[in-house]
């Protein structure tokens, strides 16, 4: 994981809000409450899948990381150290966060173990046929109401959705590389995606302090922007301990959502806010 220089905090930050909320990254009680009710399955333990799993674990989410490679579990702690140690030196994470990064991750090799997840996120290589085959397999083992999400930046949601039996619960959920401490998450819908699936995913993301916005876009963050988001998250969470002067920033103007109506309407947003931790 490459990080921009600390000066990245100079990236446009024009949002007016300076409210500090308890950070799930460091608040063990909030993490426990999240972990009791939220399980996310990440299918594919490549670089992206492992980064998503680490970030969700650090937020207290119970993560099932699926991969056929039996060595993934034994190598995960070393991977976490490799990704997080540079952020420790920048002051973006604490030593405790680094050592406990994998605390809520369980590596599994049987898709059936993902059956009861609150959300399943696919993070395998961008091969359309392989993705379709995977989601068809997931349809056979999961409840028909479980949201299934692809993280692809290459293919449209529709190109996969139209090949599935339960198209209404399929959507796109894209974490911005390198995921850890980066709050925006892109949510994309297909023509058959049900609003209840979108609402469920948006409320889940908000409950763990992620900021969902409408996709799809081809937006990829620069190293400077990544560092700015990570700095911002650490400052808002009151665990920043680097050399820069901590200031409250928002980077909401860096990413322009795709055109379209809000992901959820105002009444749904209000109901979602009552379940936020």
Lowest mean pLDDT across 28-37, 73-82, 247-256: 247-256
Average of per-residue pLDDT values in the chain: 89
Max Cα distance, the chain (Å): 53
Long-range CB contacts (within 8 A, 24+) of 126-130 = 126/152, 126/153, 126/154, 126/155, 128/155, 128/159, 128/160
pLDDT, tens digit, 9 for 90 and up, residues 171-207? 999 999 999 999 999 999 999 999 999 999 999 999 9
- Whether the pLDDT of residue 150 is over 80: the answer is yes
Domains of the chain, first to last: 6-273 (3.40.50.720)
Per-residue confidence at 9, pLDDT binned at 50, 70, 90? Answer: very low
Query: What span, in angstroms and rounded, lies between the C-alpha atoms of 121 and 140?
Result: 16
pLDDT, tens digit, 9 for 90 and up, residues 203-227? 999 999 999 999 999 999 999 999 9
Specify whether the CB–CB gap between 138 and 98 falls below 8 A.
no
Query: What span, in angstroms and rounded, lies between the C-alpha atoms of 167 and 198?
Result: 12
Specify whether the CB–CB gap between 174 and 153 falls below 8 A.
yes
pLDDT, tens digit, 9 for 90 and up, residues 229-276? 999 999 989 999 999 887 655 576 788 999 999 999 866 555 544 344
**Is the dihedral angle over the CA atoms 128, 131, 137, 140 positive or is it negative?**
negative
Structure tokens at 33: 């409450």
Structure tokens at 50: 């492992």
Q: H-type helices in 148-187, by residue range?
A: 157-161
32 phi/psi in degrees, rounded to 5: -60, -40
Specify whether the CB–CB gap between 171 and 141 falls below 8 A.
no
Structure tokens at 192: 């058959």
**Burial class of 125 by CB neighbour count within 10 A (0 to 12, 13 to 18, 19+):** exposed
User: What is the helix, strand, coil percentage profile of the chain, to 5?
Assistant: 40, 15, 45
- Cα dihedral 211/262/277/103 (nearest 10): -40
Query: What span, in angstroms and rounded, lies between the C-alpha atoms of 275 and 277?
Result: 6
Residue ranges of E strands in 20-178: 39-43, 62-66, 105-108, 119-122, 148-150, 170-175
Q: What is the pTM assigned to this prediction? A: 0.88
Query: What span, in angstroms and rounded, lies between the C-alpha atoms of 213 and 205?
Result: 10
100 phi/psi in degrees, rounded to 5: -105, 10
Task: Single out the residue of 223, 210, 205 nearest to residue 38, CA to CA.
Answer: 205
């Amino acid at each position: 994981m490459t990080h921009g220089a600390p000066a990245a905090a100079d990236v446009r930050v024009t949002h007016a809000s300076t409210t500090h909320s308890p950070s799930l990254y460091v608040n063990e009680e909030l993490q426990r409450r999240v972990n009791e009710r939220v399980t996310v399955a990440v299918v594919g333990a490549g670089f992206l899948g492992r980064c998503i799993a680490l970030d969700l674990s650090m937020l207290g989410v119970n993560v099932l990381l699926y991969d056929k490679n039996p060595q993934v579990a034994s190598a995960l702690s070393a991977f976490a150290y490799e990704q997080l140690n540079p952020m420790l030196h920048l002051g973006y994470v604490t030593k405790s966060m680094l050592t406990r990064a994998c605390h809520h991750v369980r590596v599994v090799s049987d898709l059936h173990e993902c059956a009861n997840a609150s959300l399943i996120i696919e993070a395998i290589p961008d091969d359309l046929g392989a993705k379709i085959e995977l989601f068809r397999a997931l349809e056979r083992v999961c409840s028909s109401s479980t949201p299934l999400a692809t993280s692809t930046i290459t293919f449209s949601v529709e190109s996969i959705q139209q090949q599935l039996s339960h198209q209404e619960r399929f959507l796109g959920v894209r974490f911005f590389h390198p995921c850890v401490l980066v709050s925006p998450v892109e949510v994309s819908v297909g023509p058959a995606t049900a609003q209840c699936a979108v609402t469920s995913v948006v409320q889940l993301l908000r409950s763990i302090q992620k900021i969902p916005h409408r996709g799809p876009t081809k937006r990829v963050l620069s190293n400077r922007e990544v560092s700015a988001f990570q700095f911002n998250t650490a400052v808002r969470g009151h665990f920043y301990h680097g050399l820069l002067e901590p200031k409250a920033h928002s980077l909401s103007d860096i990413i322009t959502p795709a055109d379209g109506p809000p992901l959820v309407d105002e009444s749904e947003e209000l109901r979602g806010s009552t379940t936020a931790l």
